Amino acid sequence: MGDFKKGDIVTFVDQGSQSFGEILSVRKDDCDVKILVDKEERVMRVLRSRMQKSVKIIAEDMDNMVNLPGESGSGKTEAFKRITQYLACTSEQGKNSLSSVARRVLESTPILESFGNATTVRNDNSSRFGKLVEIFFAKSIIIGAKITNFLLEKSRIVGQSEKERNYHVFYELLSSLDNESKAKHHLKNVEDYQYLMKDSRRAFSTHSDPDGLSMLLESWQTLGLPQDEMDLCLRVISAVLHLGNITFKSDNDKDNTFITNPFVAEIAASELGVDLTELAKVITMKLTVRIMLSFK
C-alpha cells in the first residue's frame, strides 16, 4: 500500500514454491504508469531487484519464457514494453549504454504498434495481433532478437465496429505525412476514405497520430530499414485505401458487375504495380472451381 500511495505501482509476490518462482505484478489502474519507463536508477533498481530471481537469463545460461495473457485493455502491450526495457538495460552491455541490438528491440515497438494496433471501445492502443519475441543472449549480452507476428485481425482493415478505428498507421500517415509524399501516392484526408469512415471516436482517442508517425519514422531509421521499403509501404497503404473507394454497378440482365469509377481503380493498380484490367477482373469476377474445372 505504501508503494501504491507513492506512485510505485509495482509489487513483488513470493509464491514460496520453486514450481512457480516469483512474480512481478504491475497494477494497471487509471493512474499514470509512466513511472515504470522512467530511466532513473531508483526505478530500475526496484525492477532489477524484484525480477532478478525470476528472470535468470542475465546471470545464468538458462532458457526462460514470459507469457503475457489477458483480455483486451488489461495492459499486455505496456507490460511487454517494460519487460523488454528491463532486459535491455540489465544486460551487461546495457549497464552503461544500450547495445545496437537492444536498442533495435526497443525501437521495433512503434512500428509494430502503427501497423498492428488500433483504437477500440476498451483500449486506445489495442494490439490486434499476437507476437512471439525471442531475445538471444551470449555471456549476458543481447546479441539478437526475432519477432514472429500471427493472427492479425485482417477484417479490421475493411470494417470496424462503432466507435472504433482502423489501424493507427492509416491515420498517422494521412494526418502528418508531408504534402509531397501525399501527392506522390494520391493520399488525401481521413474523411475521404470509406475504410476510415467509422472514425467516430477520433476526437476522443488519446492516441496522437502526429507523434505516432514521428516515432514510426524514427524507429524505421534506427532499425536501418531501407527508405525504398517505406515507400513500398506507402504504396500498399494507398492502394488499400483506394480499393475501398471503388464503387460498382450490377447488370442484372447479364449478371455482371462493373466499376463505376475506374480512375480510382487505376490509382490502386498503379500503386500495386499491376495491370488495371487484371485488377478489375479480380474484384468484379467470381471464380468457381469444381472437380478441377473452372467456370467464370
d(CA 90, CA 86) in angstroms, rounded, equals: 6
| 100 contact partners, CB below 8 Å, separation of at least 6 | none
In the structure grid, which three cell numbers stand for residue 12, read together? 513483488
Cβ proximity of 166 and 156 under 8 Å: yes
In the structure grid, which three cell numbers stand for residue 178, read together? 508531408
Angle (CA) 213-215-218 rounded to 5° is 110
Which residue positions form the known binding site? 70-77
Which residue positions form the known binding site for ATP? 70-77
Burial of 122 from C-beta contacts in 10 A (0-12 / 13-18 / 19+): exposed
